[in-house]
Structure 1
Amino acid sequence: MSDERVANLQRAMRLILDAVEDLPAECRDLAGNALLNITAEAVVQDVGCVEAGRIFARLGDLLARGLQPPAREAITLSVFDA
Protein backbone atom coordinates (compact mmCIF):
# COMPACT_ATOMS: atom_id res chain seq x y z
CA MET A 1 0.00 0.00 0.00
CA SER A 2 1.49 3.37 -0.98
CA ASP A 3 2.21 6.04 1.62
CA GLU A 4 -0.42 8.30 0.01
CA ARG A 5 -3.06 5.56 0.13
CA VAL A 6 -2.26 4.83 3.80
CA ALA A 7 -2.48 8.55 4.64
CA ASN A 8 -5.82 8.82 2.84
CA LEU A 9 -7.09 5.69 4.61
CA GLN A 10 -6.07 7.06 8.00
CA ARG A 11 -7.80 10.37 7.21
CA ALA A 12 -10.97 8.54 6.16
CA MET A 13 -10.86 6.48 9.35
CA ARG A 14 -10.56 9.60 11.52
CA LEU A 15 -13.45 11.28 9.70
CA ILE A 16 -15.65 8.19 10.04
CA LEU A 17 -14.79 7.78 13.72
CA ASP A 18 -15.62 11.44 14.37
CA ALA A 19 -18.89 11.07 12.46
CA VAL A 20 -19.85 7.98 14.50
CA GLU A 21 -19.15 9.84 17.72
CA ASP A 22 -21.51 12.60 16.52
CA LEU A 23 -24.41 10.19 15.89
CA PRO A 24 -27.39 10.26 18.25
CA ALA A 25 -26.84 7.86 21.14
CA GLU A 26 -29.61 5.52 19.97
CA CYS A 27 -27.83 5.07 16.61
CA ARG A 28 -24.26 4.77 17.88
CA ASP A 29 -24.65 1.12 18.89
CA LEU A 30 -25.73 0.29 15.33
CA ALA A 31 -22.84 2.11 13.67
CA GLY A 32 -20.43 -0.82 13.86
CA ASN A 33 -22.82 -3.18 12.11
CA ALA A 34 -23.67 -0.55 9.50
CA LEU A 35 -19.98 0.13 8.84
CA LEU A 36 -19.26 -3.60 8.61
CA ASN A 37 -21.96 -4.03 5.96
CA ILE A 38 -20.66 -1.06 3.97
CA THR A 39 -17.08 -2.28 4.36
CA ALA A 40 -17.84 -5.82 3.25
CA GLU A 41 -19.56 -4.55 0.11
CA ALA A 42 -16.73 -2.11 -0.67
CA VAL A 43 -14.01 -4.74 -0.16
CA VAL A 44 -15.82 -7.23 -2.40
CA GLN A 45 -16.18 -4.58 -5.10
CA ASP A 46 -12.50 -3.62 -4.73
CA VAL A 47 -10.84 -7.06 -4.68
CA GLY A 48 -13.55 -9.60 -5.52
CA CYS A 49 -15.29 -12.24 -3.44
CA VAL A 50 -12.41 -14.71 -3.13
CA GLU A 51 -9.82 -12.19 -1.94
CA ALA A 52 -12.40 -10.48 0.31
CA GLY A 53 -13.03 -13.88 1.90
CA ARG A 54 -9.31 -14.25 2.56
CA ILE A 55 -9.10 -10.77 4.06
CA PHE A 56 -12.07 -11.34 6.33
CA ALA A 57 -10.75 -14.78 7.34
CA ARG A 58 -7.46 -13.15 8.43
CA LEU A 59 -9.47 -10.54 10.34
CA GLY A 60 -11.47 -13.32 11.99
CA ASP A 61 -8.26 -15.09 13.01
CA LEU A 62 -6.90 -11.82 14.41
CA LEU A 63 -10.00 -11.27 16.52
CA ALA A 64 -10.09 -14.90 17.66
CA ARG A 65 -6.58 -14.40 19.07
CA GLY A 66 -7.85 -11.46 21.11
CA LEU A 67 -6.18 -8.83 18.94
CA GLN A 68 -8.07 -5.85 17.63
CA PRO A 69 -7.14 -3.46 14.84
CA PRO A 70 -6.76 0.11 16.09
CA ALA A 71 -9.63 2.45 15.24
CA ARG A 72 -7.39 5.34 14.22
CA GLU A 73 -4.50 3.59 12.48
CA ALA A 74 -4.36 1.79 9.14
CA ILE A 75 -2.94 -1.71 9.32
CA THR A 76 -2.21 -4.45 6.83
CA LEU A 77 -3.73 -7.71 7.97
CA SER A 78 -0.72 -9.59 6.62
CA VAL A 79 1.37 -8.24 9.52
CA PHE A 80 -0.63 -10.60 11.75
CA ASP A 81 0.02 -13.69 9.61
CA ALA A 82 1.92 -16.33 11.55
Structure 2
Amino acid sequence: MPECCGLPVRISTPEPGYVDWQARLRPDMHGPPVAPYHFRFEREQYLYVLESARDDHAWECPTRTVMRLIRARVETERPFAARG
Protein backbone atom coordinates (compact mmCIF):
# COMPACT_ATOMS: atom_id res chain seq x y z
CA MET A 1 0.00 0.00 0.00
CA PRO A 2 1.48 3.41 -0.93
CA GLU A 3 2.18 5.94 1.78
CA CYS A 4 1.43 9.62 2.11
CA CYS A 5 3.29 11.48 4.86
CA GLY A 6 4.21 8.12 6.36
CA LEU A 7 0.65 6.77 6.48
CA PRO A 8 -0.95 4.14 4.24
CA VAL A 9 -3.10 5.40 1.38
CA ARG A 10 -5.46 3.16 -0.58
CA ILE A 11 -5.91 4.23 -4.18
CA SER A 12 -8.73 2.65 -6.13
CA THR A 13 -10.91 3.16 -9.20
CA PRO A 14 -14.34 1.93 -8.13
CA GLU A 15 -16.14 3.75 -10.94
CA PRO A 16 -14.88 4.36 -14.47
CA GLY A 17 -13.55 7.89 -14.86
CA TYR A 18 -12.67 8.40 -11.16
CA VAL A 19 -9.78 7.77 -8.79
CA ASP A 20 -10.47 7.46 -5.07
CA TRP A 21 -8.01 7.92 -2.22
CA GLN A 22 -8.71 6.64 1.27
CA ALA A 23 -6.21 7.58 3.95
CA ARG A 24 -5.77 8.01 7.66
CA LEU A 25 -4.12 11.40 7.94
CA ARG A 26 -2.53 13.17 10.87
CA PRO A 27 -3.66 16.67 11.86
CA ASP A 28 0.04 17.43 12.29
CA MET A 29 3.16 15.42 11.52
CA HIS A 30 3.58 14.25 15.14
CA GLY A 31 0.03 13.40 16.18
CA PRO A 32 -1.75 10.08 15.86
CA PRO A 33 -3.74 9.25 12.72
CA VAL A 34 -7.34 10.42 12.76
CA ALA A 35 -10.49 9.03 11.15
CA PRO A 36 -10.16 8.02 7.48
CA TYR A 37 -10.43 10.67 4.80
CA HIS A 38 -11.90 9.99 1.38
CA PHE A 39 -10.95 11.99 -1.70
CA ARG A 40 -12.40 11.52 -5.19
CA PHE A 41 -10.78 12.87 -8.34
CA GLU A 42 -11.82 12.82 -11.96
CA ARG A 43 -9.42 10.40 -13.64
CA GLU A 44 -8.26 12.70 -16.44
CA GLN A 45 -7.64 15.59 -14.04
CA TYR A 46 -5.79 13.25 -11.64
CA LEU A 47 -3.51 11.97 -14.41
CA TYR A 48 -2.87 15.51 -15.67
CA VAL A 49 -1.83 16.69 -12.20
CA LEU A 50 0.45 13.66 -11.72
CA GLU A 51 2.11 14.33 -15.06
CA SER A 52 2.65 18.02 -14.33
CA ALA A 53 3.92 17.29 -10.81
CA ARG A 54 6.58 14.94 -12.13
CA ASP A 55 8.85 17.89 -12.97
CA ASP A 56 7.83 20.14 -10.05
CA HIS A 57 10.09 19.52 -7.07
CA ALA A 58 9.22 22.64 -5.06
CA TRP A 59 7.21 20.57 -2.55
CA GLU A 60 10.06 18.19 -1.71
CA CYS A 61 11.64 18.12 1.70
CA PRO A 62 15.47 17.98 1.68
CA THR A 63 15.48 14.20 2.28
CA ARG A 64 13.30 13.54 -0.76
CA THR A 65 15.43 15.84 -2.89
CA VAL A 66 18.59 13.94 -1.96
CA MET A 67 16.88 10.59 -2.60
CA ARG A 68 15.66 11.73 -6.02
CA LEU A 69 19.08 13.06 -7.04
CA ILE A 70 20.88 9.91 -5.88
CA ARG A 71 18.37 7.70 -7.70
CA ALA A 72 18.82 9.70 -10.91
CA ARG A 73 22.61 9.48 -10.63
CA VAL A 74 22.58 5.73 -10.00
CA GLU A 75 20.24 5.16 -12.96
CA THR A 76 22.47 7.15 -15.32
CA GLU A 77 25.61 5.29 -14.19
CA ARG A 78 24.05 1.82 -14.06
CA PRO A 79 24.89 0.99 -17.72
CA PHE A 80 28.56 1.77 -17.04
CA ALA A 81 28.63 -0.36 -13.89
CA ALA A 82 27.10 -3.30 -15.77
CA ARG A 83 30.00 -3.30 -18.26
CA GLY A 84 32.44 -4.14 -15.50
Query: Of Structure 1 and Structure 2, which has the larger fraction of its residues in helix?
Result: 1
TM-score (norm 1): 0.33
Which of the two has higher C-alpha Rg? 2
How does the TM-score come out when normalised to structure 2? 0.32
Which structure dedicates a bigger proportion of its chain to strand? Answer: 2
